Amino acid sequence: MPDVNCTVNTCKYWEDGNLCNAQQIVIQNDEEGGFPPNVNLKQLSATPAQSEDETCCQTFKLK
């Protein structure tokens, strides 16, 4: 798995060096808000975005 960087040091998965050690990463567009804990992630709808400004994903690149 490639390095995933995160600057949110209050997160359970944050590690020194601003690394994320979560086994799974979930990214949605900002309009969707969030989802309940324990949701089946495979059943979530696609959440399109046109730019990185519509997500919290700093590595977003439009296809």
pLDDT digits (tens, 9 = 90+) for 46-61: 888 888 788 777 677 7
β-bridge partners, 30 = none
pLDDT digits (tens, 9 = 90+) for 1-42: 678 898 888 888 899 999 999 888 877 777 766 677 777 877
In this prediction, residue 17 carries a pLDDT of 94
In this prediction, residue 49 carries a pLDDT of 84
pTM here is 0.61
Closest CA to 20 of 30, 10, 29: 10
In this prediction, residue 1 carries a pLDDT of 62
Ordered by start, the domain boundaries in the chain are 1-49
Closest CA to 41 of 52, 25, 55: 25
